[in-house]
Structure 1
Amino acid sequence: MKVFNIFFCVVFVIFAGLQYNDPDPYVWMPIYLYAALFCALAARRRFYRKWYLAGILVYLAYAVYLFFAKDGVEDWVVSHHAENIAQTMKATKPWIEETREFFGLAICMAVLGINYWYAGKAKHANS
């Protein structure tokens, strides 16, 4: 788990740094840095299940919004036939930006979810 968390801590810090030129860095930098912080703590065997759950719930609410929003993931799949969202780094179409953001949240939720599960398992093993 230590290598897993160090890896994702670095990845999330890089993701946060890449948001600098984004139209809404004040939203996305904290999202990625929150996940990076809890990965860094987990790498040091400090687990905070309530904070993982809080992050997952906030990310989930935002992901649901991005899924159903105008030019969101649903629109990308239905109206734009899931066109390639990795053609260029610059998202020239709004559904590409929204879909990429959705998947960024999904990655954050998955990592926090794995840490949440592992922390519960580790807690029961130490009991």
Structure 2
Amino acid sequence: MNHINPLSKQKKITNIILCILFIIFAILQLNDPDGILWFAIYFIVAIICIYNNFKPIPRLFLVVTIVVLLAYAIFHFSLFIDYLKTENKEEIFGEMVYEKPYLEGTREFIGLLIAAFGVIYQLKIRKN
């Protein structure tokens, strides 16, 4: 029996784009003090996106990955709220300022949400 992944061409192209984006995110993390952790997070999501083009990923694995990403995001939520209370919102695009931990925490919170949505997309397009 021929085991062909039933994903449409459009979904496969979307997964290729997501994989490339998450690899770029992973590489950009390497200059951070905790870069290995963030590289691993984004790289794993990139692998999930591309692997799903060839073979369906078990639903339980996707759900657990989403839960782990969102649980880790919760640890950064209070810093995100602190950022929302600031007046100078464009600081998020600047360099890390150690006196303002909410900047890095907000970046990490948003990054984890983006990663979770990448995996949620894999769950959404999954057949069965």
TM-score, length basis structure 2 = 0.82
Q: CA separation in 2, counterparts of 1:9 and 1:48?
A: 18
| Alpha carbons of structure 1 residues 105 and 28: separation in structure 2 relative to 1, 3 Å | same
Q: SS in structure 2 opposite 1:47?
A: coil
Q: CA separation in 2, counterparts of 1:118 and 1:82?
A: 39
Q: CA separation in 1, counterparts of 2:123 and 2:90?
A: 32
TM-score, length basis structure 1 = 0.83
Structure 2 unaligned residues grouped into runs of 5+: 1-10
Among 72, 75, 96, the residue aligned to 2:82 = 75
Aligned match of 1:63: 73
Give the paired residue count.
116
Aligned match of 2:3: none
Among 100, 115, 126, the residue aligned to 2:122 = 115
Letter in 2 for 1:110: F
Structure 2 counterparts to residues 1-127 of structure 1, below 5 A: 1-68=11-78, 72-78=79-85, 80-81=86-87, 83-88=89-94, 90-92=95-97, 93-119=100-126, 122-123=127-128
* Cα-to-partner distance string for 1:30-68 (whole Å, 9 max, x where unaligned): 110110110011122432322211111111111111002
What is the CA RMSD across the aligned residues, in angstroms?
A: 1.6
Could you list the runs of 4 or more consecutive aligned residues of structure 1 that deviate by over 4 angstroms after TM superposition?
none
